Amino acid sequence: MAENIRPIAEAFYQASADRDIKRALSMIDDNVDWLVQGPVDVFSFFGQRRGKAAVLEGYREIARRLEITSYQVELLLVDGDRAAALIRLFAIVRATGKVMSVRTSQFSRFCEGKIVEMRAVVDTFDLVEQTVGRPLELAVDAPELIVA
Amino acid sequence: MAENIRPIAEAFYQASADRDIKRALSMIDDNVDWLVQGPVDVFSFFGQRRGKAAVLEGYREIARRLEITSYQVELLLVDGDRAAALIRLFAIVRATGKVMSVRTSQFSRFCEGKIVEMRAVVDTFDLVEQTVGRPLELAVDAPELIVA
């Protein structure tokens, strides 16, 4: 019989909301396949990571750049061995002191009580723009992008 | 007893993958609450839309800007009256002729066989950068963003 991953997924997101990285990491498999979709050349915590140590380094990179002040799991779906979470983050950008908010979704797969696969989508334009602290410049080179 | 939304969700994403907008729209409630997270000042199909007519206008806006050549539902989870889909899109940017790819996630809620709520997250930095066709300029004003 398949394991019921709902309590495990809930515990993982509770740990994440509590910013209890140690507890969150205890629910991540040593050989996890982790992908946060986004521009890896802008934020090094984007991109593909293999293994728990690499994921921990990603968490540390986020912590160096952002002080997360609120982590709200707006939705959490469980289906078989997979979970999908819609998350809203509020953070202070350490470089500028500004408050930012961003939404992200995380699709995870569990095996024997641990996350073995993670696929995340982040609203990265908002993230980058808010981290930079000004609108990104598009209008001059790409006027067709600005639509009424 | 709760309705089983899995076949409805599968039919909606099959219609979407087929780019059969009419069939997809037939599964959207007239008063749907629709939110695609992203910079509404850059792409008018981002933002909050209320009602099927507004969603149709969003679909038309996408079609004016992008020729979608591939729509792959990588994951589809169903839990109660909600579904979560992880989608990979390939498209040709009409303004430049370039091919782009982007990931999006969609969290939907169903009632009486129709989508009444939609929350989508798009990897918008990639979307904007690929649509512009060049790297967005960050380095000069925000050197702290470029990390090794």
Quick one: A140 exposed, middle or buried, by C-beta within 10 A (0-12, 13-18, 19+)? exposed
Predicted confidence band of residue B134 (pLDDT cuts 50, 70, 90): low
Q: Average pLDDT for residues B60-87, to the nearest whole number?
A: 94
| Euclidean distance between CA atoms B142 and B148, whole angstroms | 14
| Euclidean distance between CA atoms A131 and A88, whole angstroms | 16
* CB pair distance less than 8 Å for A83 and B77: yes
Q: Which residues contact A35 (CB under 8 A, 6 or more apart)?
A: A47, A48, A49, A118, A119, A120
Distance from CA of B77 to the nearest CA of A (A): 6
A140 near B CB under 8 A: no
* CB pair distance less than 8 Å for A61 and B147: yes
| Euclidean distance between CA atoms A91 and A101, whole angstroms | 6
**Token pair belonging to B72:** 């792959």
Predicted confidence band of residue A142 (pLDDT cuts 50, 70, 90): very low
Predicted confidence band of residue A145 (pLDDT cuts 50, 70, 90): very low
* CB pair distance less than 8 Å for A107 and B77: yes
Instruction: Give contacts of B 74-93 with A, CB under 8 A.
Output: 74-75, 77-79, 82-84, 86
Number of CB pairs < 8 Å for A and B? 145
User: At B88, is the secondary structure helix, strand, or coil?
Assistant: strand
| Chain A nearest-CA residue for B94 | A144
B123 near A CB under 8 A: yes
* CB pair distance less than 8 Å for A44 and B79: no
| pTM for the whole structure | 0.84
Predicted confidence band of residue B146 (pLDDT cuts 50, 70, 90): very low
End-to-end CA distance of chain A: 54
A142 near B CB under 8 A: yes
User: At B9, is the secondary structure helix, strand, or coil?
Assistant: helix
Predicted confidence band of residue B147 (pLDDT cuts 50, 70, 90): very low
Q: Hey, of B66, B94, B124, B130, which one would you mutate to test binding to chain A, going by the most A CBs within 10 A of its CB?
A: B124
Return the pLDDT at B41. Answer: 65
Residue for token pair 């993982």: A12
8 A C-beta contact, residue A9 and residue A87: no
* CB pair distance less than 8 Å for A103 and B121: yes
Q: What ipTM describes this predicted complex? A: 0.83
3-state secondary structure chain A: CCCCCHHHHHHHHHHHHCCCHHHHHCCEEEEEEEEEECCCCCCCCCEEEECHHHHHHHHHHHHHHEEEEEEEEEEEEEECCEEEEEEEEEEEECCCCCEEEEEEEEEEEEECCEEEEEEEEECHHHHHHHHHCCCCCCCCCCHHHCCC
8 A C-beta contact, residue B138 and residue A42: yes
| Chain A nearest-CA residue for B35 | A103
Which stretches within B36-83 are classed as H helix?
A: 52-65
Q: Select from B133, B135, B123, B73 the least CA-distant residue to B99.
A: B133
Q: Which of A41, A79, A133 sits opposite B79 (nearest CB)?
A: A79
